[in-house]
Every structure is written in structure tokens, then in C-alpha cells.
Structure 1
Amino acid sequence: MKTRYSFGGDEHIFVEMDEEMSLDAFFKSLAMSNAARDAKIDGVREICPANASFQVRYDPETISPDDMMAKLKEFEDKAVNAEKRLNTRIIEVPVYYQDPWTHDCVMRFRERHQDPSGTDLDYAARINGYDSVEAFIEAHHSSPWFVSMVGFVSGLPFLYQLVEREKQIEVPKYLKPRTDTPKQTVGYGGCFSCIYSVRGAGGYQMFGITPMTIFDADQEVSYLKDFMVFFRPGDIVKFNPIGREEYDRILKEVENGTYKPRIAEVTFDLEEFNSDIEGTNHKLMEALNGI
């Protein structure tokens, strides 16, 4: 893994661990960005982590660009040898697949899609080699997902599938972005799933919707009163397929303040995962089932 350092204008330095996403790149990026934050370098204004990279914004009148670059490079050796264990949480996210709202949106924007003759799920199932949409949906929800980044729009999580690379789902974005995407749509682009935190434009394939609010700027939702953004990097997600009746019930509970997301505290060990993916995933999901 060759780390690339580059200046971004007068006030930013971009540090990229790898051109492709991997959990190894994520953990190295996390270790380096945490080290930079803990160092409390004079002049650093913001540190923004991403999937396999991070960016630092600094004041060039307080610290010169070359000195800032040199300090960041000092953290790389520490990051390589950093412990690859993360105390985190696994969260159950209910998903209503093939719901009427994303389906309506899917059909309104077919002319922008690779295959106007079907739905996003039809297309995703076919290009990934599944015999049916139902089999594809099962593959999407049967394994856990790792939140590698939160951003692009407020509160939107990027989710990386915790399976062998050759088993990962891959789906391209729309040929031309939509001007509309329902709030809390579960989408997919490249190797990442996501949950649209707000309604707006988008280019990811649409598979379903969750009744669980994940961003609340007014902090009126019961489980978002401490912080308006629900997800954080390092969270693990288990999608749980639900039907219309369950969707309506959960949505009502969210609205009246009685809904509590199912969450279990877990430790994610990267070396353990790499040596036994199936066993690690089983332990993670058992922690959630044991609540």
C-alpha cells in the first residue's frame, strides 16, 4: 500500500492510503487521522476522514505547508504498526425492499439508467449473476456492513460489505444522476451501499427504504437528541428485511419517540476477520441476536 500525499490549494493536505477501498486502507487511514488529531498540531483547523483517505485543513499562517506535510508523514510508521482492533457497535437497520416510494422514483428516471426496461433491482441482480431479485436481496442483507465514511451530505453513511472481495456486490451509478431520491433510500454505487439521509438528487441504484431516521438537524428524534447524525465511521450495520406492516409500525414509533434502534457493543478485529470472515460475521450477528 503506497500512501500518497498531495496539497489541496493553500489550506489542505490530502492523504490517500490506496486508490481502492479495503479494510486495511481504512484502518491505516483511521490510525493516521487519529494520530494527527491527538497531536493537537498548532494551526490544524479540521481533520476529515474518508473511506481510505483523510484530509487536513490548516492555517498556513500558523504552520507552513511543508512543515504540515512533514508532520503528517511522521504518523505513517505508527499507523502501520497500530493495533487493528476497534471497539464499536453493530446496528440493525430495518429495510423495506421493493417499496412503492423508491419504485415510483425508479420508474420516473428510467431514461437515465443503463437498462430502462427493468428496475434497479432487476439490473443489479442480473449483472451480479443472481437468478432472481429475491436472491439478490438476500445477498444484500445476509452479511454485515462496515461504515467506512459518513458524509457527502449530512449523515449519509457509506457501507462496505463484509464478505470476500470476489463475493462483493458491485453496481454502477446511474448514467445520469436523478433530480430526486426519497429520504432514507437504501442505495448502491460501485462497491458501496448507502442510506440517503435527506431527500434530494442522487445517482446510486435504489433497492428499498428504511423507516429509521438517521439524520435530524432539529434533534427531535428520541435517539438523536445528543447528536443529529446517527452513524459514525467504524459502525457495523446488519440490514433486516421488513414488509409494509412492519415499516408502518416502526415509522409510527420513530414519529412518537418510542423507537429504539437495536444496537450491541462489539469489538472488530481486522486480523481475525481476514483469517475467518464467516466466523467473524457470525459472532458479530450473534451479538445483535443476543440483545
Structure 2
Amino acid sequence: MSGAAEARYSWGGDEHIFVELAESMSLRANFRAMAITTSLRADRPDGVLEICPANASYQVRYDPDVIEPEKLLGHLRDIERKVGDASDFSLATRVVEIPVLYRDPWTTETLMRFRDRHQDPDATDIEYAARINGLADADEFIRVHSGSPWFTSMVGFVAGLPFMYQMVPQERQLVVPKYLRPRTDTPKQTVGHGGCFGCIYSVRGAGGYQMFGITPAPIYDPSQSAPDFADFMVFFRPGDIVRFAPVDRDRYDDLVAEVEAGTFRIRSRPVDFALKPFLDDPDGVNTRLLEVLRAD
């Protein structure tokens, strides 16, 4: 792997340092952000309050009464030098399975209400996405969308919303533009896509990503009443590797009943992920990642 570009450091008022690692998103840039922020958590100076990785950057909130800003800056630069291009870094993370009812009635009804804001008013979002990606039809699009894992590059914008990057070579990534004008409504737990990023809408609200389906799995629970939220109200963590699992309507309804009964759990398994083996053999690594949950 080639050497990493030097990071750009900026002050955000009296309590934040923003660090830009690259000008554009890539799995390399995001993995470097994961490596640096993981190293910072392991060697966390007193006064560091929050560490927030993002797509190609990260931000640190600190208490200037506890740690001298220039001292913290020097510490971050030291970590950057040690991490380098992150080729030796292995991320302890997890593979999670998200069931998806593609072409569900709720996102379909919603997208039909907003066709005047779409590039192709005569097609559904998934039909449009299939066509512009050179795929035969919606069924083939679903196979491609669910046929490779997705890397959670960051969580935010809306509480609990994961941004996900398809783990395939760039020339094979699904790319779909956002709506020409945002919608004023998106169902909760919609599986969406904008540009090169997939996402899951954690709450109902406005949105501009294309809508492909819906998951019965809650990913945000401020009451922390569901089993997956005993420790935190947000399910996803940066670095999670996602497997989308297509389900039919009967299975979707069964899973919703489990959610309502308080017995539903998102399937997950711990895994170590290193970038270099993936870049050397993405299809082989993806096959092994997808098999992690199938062994149950």
C-alpha cells in the first residue's frame, strides 16, 4: 500500500480539533480514520471528552482546562505517524445481519407521492437504480445490493443513522444520485442509497436518498427498552460490517411480531477486519465475511 497523505488539522472553537485525512471518501481513508481513533481510545489522555470518526476525517472534543490544546495536537500527530496508511491495523468489529423487505408497500407508497421530485417519474426508485447501474431489472439489483457486505463508515446526521460503503472494487460499486429535491417524508427504517453510500433511516422524516426497501430491525431506541439497546440507544457503531438479508412479506411480518413482543435481536458475530487482505482479495474476504453468520 502506498504512503498516506498528511492530515490537515483545524481548530473548532476552544474545545474541538477537526482532522481531515482525505478530500474524498474511500475505504482506505475511512479505515485510516478508524485506526487513528481506535488508537486514540486505547491511549486516551485525560481531558479528551469525545472521539467521533467520520467518512474521511475525525473530530475530537476536549477540555482545555485539563489538557493543553497544543499538547493534544502533538499527541494526535504522533498517532497519525504511527498508524501511517493503516496497512498493519486490524479492526475488532462485528458482522451484523439486517433483514430487508425490498420493494415493500410503505416505501413504495411514499416514493409514488414524490415522483415529481425524482429523475425518472415513470419508474420506482429501485427500477431507476437498476437501469442506471446497467442491471437487467430490480431482481438483479437486489442480488447485487445484498450480495456483498457493507462497511459502516460513520453514524450520525440523524441520531442512529449509519452511512455504509459497499465493500467491492470502486468500478463495481452501486452509484445512484439523490432525489432532485428532497422528500418531506421517509418511513422509519427505510434502506436508502445516495451517491456511493447506503443508509438506514433511523427515524421517520425528510430525506433525499433513493428508497429500496425497509427493515423490521429497530436501529435507534431512545427508551432503551429493546434487547439490542441495553447499553446504548444507538445500535450501529462505526466499523460494523453489514450483511443485507432479503426477506419476503411473511418473514417480515414474523420479525415485526418479534419486535413488538420484545424478543427480536439483530444477529451479529465478532470479527477482525484488516484492510490489506481485503484489497488483495476482496471477493475472497467478502465470501468469508458473509459466511460468518450463515454458520448458525
Q: TM-score range by the shorter chain?
A: over 0.9
In 2, Cα distance between equivalents of 1:81 and 1:251: 43
Q: Percent identity?
A: 58
SS in 2 for 1:283: helix
Shift of 1:66: 4.2
Shift of 1:145: 0.9
Of 264, 269, 274, the match for 1:269: 274
SS in 2 for 1:240: strand
* Number of residues of Structure 1 aligned to a counterpart in Structure 2: 291
Shift of 1:171: 1.0
Residue in 2 that maps onto 1:251:
256
SS in 2 for 1:247: helix
Residue in 2 that maps onto 1:110:
115
SS in 1 for 2:187: coil
In 2, Cα distance between equivalents of 1:135 and 1:35: 41
Residue in 2 that maps onto 1:45:
49
Q: Considering only aligned residues, what root-mean-square deviation do their CA atoms show, in Å?
A: 1.8
Of 59, 62, 73, the match for 1:69: 73
Residue in 1 that maps onto 2:189:
184
SS in 2 for 1:7: strand
Shift of 1:31: 2.1
SS in 2 for 1:169: coil
The within-5 A match list for 1:76-91 is 76-80=80-84, 82=86, 83-91=88-96
SS in 1 for 2:287: helix
Gaps of 5+ in 2: none
Shift of 1:65: 4.6
Of 92, 96, 103, the match for 2:101: 96
Shift of 1:79: 1.4
Q: Is the 8 A contact 1:221 1:255 kept in 2?
A: no
Of 141, 147, 150, the match for 1:136: 141
Q: Which moved more, 1:255-264 or 1:128-137?
A: 255-264
The within-5 A match list for 1:184-263 is 184-263=189-268
What TM-score, normalized to structure 1? 0.94
Q: Is the 8 A contact 1:96 1:210 kept in 2?
A: yes
Of 33, 36, 41, the match for 2:37: 33
In 2, Cα distance between equivalents of 1:46 and 1:226: 17
Q: Is the 8 A contact 1:172 1:189 kept in 2?
A: yes
In 1, Cα distance between equivalents of 2:225 and 2:63: 36
In 2, Cα distance between equivalents of 1:161 and 1:16: 22
In 2, Cα distance between equivalents of 1:108 and 1:26: 36
Residue in 2 that maps onto 1:127:
132
The answer as to 2:169 corresponding to 1:164 is: yes
Gaps of 5+ in 1: none
Change (3 A) 1:267 1:62: closer
In 2, Cα distance between equivalents of 1:193 and 1:264: 21
Shift of 1:59: 3.5
What TM-score, normalized to structure 2? 0.92
